[in-house]
Chains A and B, each alone.
Chain A
Amino acid sequence: MDLMKIFKDSYHIMAKDLLSLRRNKMSLAALFIMPIAFLVMFGFIFPSGNTQTHMPVGVVNLDDGSGSTQFISQLNALNSNNSYLNLQNFTSTDAAKTEINQGKLYGTFIIPPGFSYNMSHGQSADVVMLVDNSNPQIASQIEGVTANTITMMNGQQAVYNVVNMSASTGQSVNPQAMVFPYTPNIQTTIPGQNNYFNFLAPGLMIMIVMMTVMTGIPEAISKEKEIGTFDGMLSAPINQISIILGKTAALCVRGFGQCILILLLAVLFFGVTIQGSILLAFVMLLLGIFSFVGIGIVAVSMSEDQASGTMIVNLLMFPMMFLAGIFYPLQQMPWFMQDIAKVIPLTYAADAMRKIMLLNANLGDVITQVLILVAFGVVTMAIAVPLFRRSMTR
């Protein structure tokens, strides 16, 4: 068969499909709203790992010494830097507890009597933190913030003590090195703060392309079958492969348009930094399409009409969307889910996309994923194409 003719016919079919799409204002609008909705929706509803700020917390001072006053002023000074807490003073434990029960406070510090006495007599002074753990997420955040704050205050106090001791004994020391012998210096592969969108954007791009192509193939082909235009193409002297190629190409153009939109939004509004080659990323997208387009073709070959074709595809697509590690890292899933994820091509495509875009990985770094995707594509296409040919002349 004349290869040039196949490509030319595919091109004509693609151009025809895109022209039809351009005339259809509604689907054109939906095409661009979908990626925006996905990015905003998933970007904001999933836990981002950031700690809440201005959490209302009470302070009950039952001590009458100067130690507790100093403690509270240090607490206030620290908090005014990061504003995690919104501190309010209460005169009794009961008053604070009432506020907690009414949901106005997340928890309260209680400084017990004898706090100053313990401090001035060389003992550790207890501070009670009463946490409302009826909301476990907030409780763990409060616990974290409290532990952090107290650790910092301990450090400050220790530095102050060391300075006093060295002055009284006449030794010259570096109090910072005495109290904090180890200082962590955290560096990241991606500059800037941790950002969930960095994780989300590459996966979302490949997922959008998958959705567009996989739902698009059964939709486009069944629709033409139903309105009758398919007979016009099949009775023309063209290879049936041209129809698959042309339709897929048209859907790729749509999917790439959506990807570019996601990329722009992610960079401009969600602080995503792209370090890798965009070109390689799009090559990866193409490879991803090759690996799962076969599934869409099998679906359309096995179904009689548009509704059942779309249903089969949705059935396959939804688990793929959520199990492929697009929204959560795979490592957070239970082991059996991770095993399922291993047989989904989207997993490898998303993983490779992330490495390429965020870590500037080259083709050699993601060769395993590439080979798996190629193998997946070859196998599904080997099943899909004969099935499609047979279904055409049923």
Chain B
Amino acid sequence: MTENAIEINNLTKEFGDFKAVDNLSLNVKSGEIFGFLGPNGAGKSTTIRMLCTLAQPTSGSATVSGYDLVKDAAKVRENIGLVAEKMIMYDALTAAENLRFFGKLYRIPKDELERRIDELLEMVNMQEWKDTQINKFSTGMKQRINVIRALLPEPKIIFMDEPTLGLDPQTTFSIREIIRDINKKGVTVILTTHAMVEAEALSDRVAIIDHGKIAALDTPENLKNMISDVNTTIFSVKITNLSSQLIESIRNLENVTALSQQDDHILKISATGENALNNIIDSIRAKGGNIFSITNSNESTLEDVFLALTGKEIRDHASEKAAPTPHGHGQRAQARVR
């Protein structure tokens, strides 16, 4: 019985002294969309690279589609498709030439290959660009070709590493539609993303990974409930004279567990502890902040879960309570959700 598309047992990858993936164990069920979240450098991409046989595990094992990663690497490759962060295509070749080249490596018979190329181009509305060189394409067009390239061999499992990064809303929407479509046809999808809305909307289950380990693994619904306990208050506050100093002082308050800046005036704050809301309002006013309105949004999002689990500090400087600027973590993640 192959209930699980992927089974990972104590998978570890070390680069010198650094453990990029640390004793990771999890299963991905056949037919699900599995979201893989985590801060930059948490080990998501390394895990995906190992599962695609592009990197050798230091220790531990994993099976993909029932085949061992190391012993049956060739069999694994026959069953997977990869949409990597860097687009896999040659600029000097046309869309069709790119697809043909990779299709041939999968031993797809010629007529069948041409049929699939036409079909897939039609799926992403790019038939008219079939014989145009890739270097004339926009980023969105390239990414659509990049995605259908991975679908060409009709894989059972598809890995997508940030498939909507840097795309306009229209293309993002269409890529998400494709992900849903292929999943309906029974393809297991492993998705890494920083767009929390995307992970929440698409994934059946989500793993939040940090420092090479799983911080949480559940359905998006359960994860949100996990932090929406009675003690946590989540609210947006609009401050007319919002400044970076003020944001810093709020961020450093004891009650505040997570904070993200929504726009020039609005902060979204998660807080715990007795009298949390009162304390925070008092502090803002004490610092001269002019509160315009407060909106209670006790419905937490996956981003709140993410920040609660992985902390507030930016990963580039991993020191404790490093001071992020208003242009830091929260805002960037927010900008991408929109």
Is the CB–CB distance between B133 and A23 below 8 Å?
A: yes
List, in ascending order, chain B residues with CB within 8 A of A5's CB: 107
| B44 sits at the interface (CB 8 A) | no
Q: How far is the CA of A186 from the CA of B92 in the complex (A)?
A: 58
Q: Which of B54, B88, B93 contacts A393 (CB 8 A)?
A: B54
Is the CB–CB distance between A12 and B54 below 8 Å?
A: no
List, in ascending order, chain A residues with CB within 8 A of B149's CB: 232
List, in ascending order, chain A residues with CB within 8 A of B97's CB: 16, 19
| A184 sits at the interface (CB 8 A) | no
Of B75-83, B243-251, B329-337, the one touching chain A: B75-83
| A238 sits at the interface (CB 8 A) | yes
List, in ascending order, chain B residues with CB within 8 A of A334's CB: none
Is the CB–CB distance between A231 and B88 below 8 Å?
A: yes
Is the CB–CB distance between A235 and B82 below 8 Å?
A: yes
Tell me the number of A-to-B contacts counted with CB atoms below 8 Å. Answer: 71
Chain A proximity of B114: nearest CB distance (Å): 15
Is the CB–CB distance between A23 and B53 below 8 Å?
A: no
Is the CB–CB distance between A20 and B88 below 8 Å?
A: no
Complex interface bits, A11-47 against B, C-beta within 8 A gives 1, otherwise 0: 0100010011001100000000000000000000000
Q: Which of B56, B90, B106 contacts A237 (CB 8 A)?
A: B106
List, in ascending order, chain A residues with CB within 8 A of B89's CB: 229, 232
List, in ascending order, chain B residues with CB within 8 A of A268's CB: none
Is the CB–CB distance between B93 and A235 below 8 Å?
A: no
Known: A9-B105, A231-B86, A236-B106. A19 touches B93 (CB 8 A): yes
Q: How far is the CA of A175 from the CA of B293 in the complex (A)?
A: 128
Chain B proximity of A219: nearest CB distance (Å): 15
List, in ascending order, chain B residues with CB within 8 A of A237's CB: 74-75, 77-78, 105-107
Is the CB–CB distance between A231 and B52 below 8 Å?
A: yes
Q: How far is the CA of A350 from the CA of B87 in the complex (A)?
A: 43
Is the CB–CB distance between A19 and B105 below 8 Å?
A: no
Is the CB–CB distance between B105 and A227 below 8 Å?
A: no
Main secondary structure of the interface of A (DSSP, over half): helix
Q: Which of B53, B90, B104 contacts A229 (CB 8 A)?
A: B90
List, in ascending order, chain A residues with CB within 8 A of B80's CB: 235
Question: Considering only CB atoms and an 8 Å cut-off, how many residues of chain A contact the other chain?
Answer: 22
Classify chain B: how many residues form its interface, as a range: 20 to 34
- Which B residues, 202 to 220, have Cβ-Cβ distances below 8 Å to chain A? none
Q: How far is the CA of A229 from the CA of B97 in the complex (A)?
A: 14
Is the CB–CB distance between B77 and A236 below 8 Å?
A: yes
Complex interface bits, B58-81 against A, C-beta within 8 A gives 1, otherwise 0: 000000000000000011011010
Q: Which of A16, A234, A238 contacts B90 (CB 8 A)?
A: A16
Is the CB–CB distance between B87 and A393 below 8 Å?
A: no
| A192 sits at the interface (CB 8 A) | no
Q: Which of B55, B92, B105, B133 contacts A236 (CB 8 A)?
A: B105
| A121 sits at the interface (CB 8 A) | no
Kindly report which residue of chain A lies nearest to residue B56, judged by CB atoms. Answer: A393
Among A24, A231, A394, chain B packs the most CB atoms within 10 A around the CB of A231
Among A229, A234, A238, chain B packs the most CB atoms within 10 A around the CB of A229
Q: How far is the CA of A20 from the CA of B77 in the complex (A)?
A: 25
Q: How far is the CA of A236 from the CA of B49 in the complex (A)?
A: 13
Query: Residues on A close to B: CB < 8 A?
Result: 5, 8-9, 12, 16, 19-20, 23-24, 227-229, 231-238, 393-394
Query: Residues on B close to A: CB < 8 A?
Result: 49, 52-56, 74-75, 77-78, 80, 82, 84-90, 92-93, 97, 101-102, 104-107, 133, 149, 153
A-B contact pairs, 27 of them (CB 8 A): A12-B101, A12-B105, A16-B97, A16-B101, A20-B90, A20-B92, A20-B93, A23-B93, A24-B92, A228-B85, A228-B87, A229-B89, A231-B84, A231-B88, A232-B88, A232-B89, A232-B149, A234-B53, A235-B77, A235-B82, A236-B77, A236-B102, A236-B105, A237-B78, A237-B105, A237-B107, A394-B55
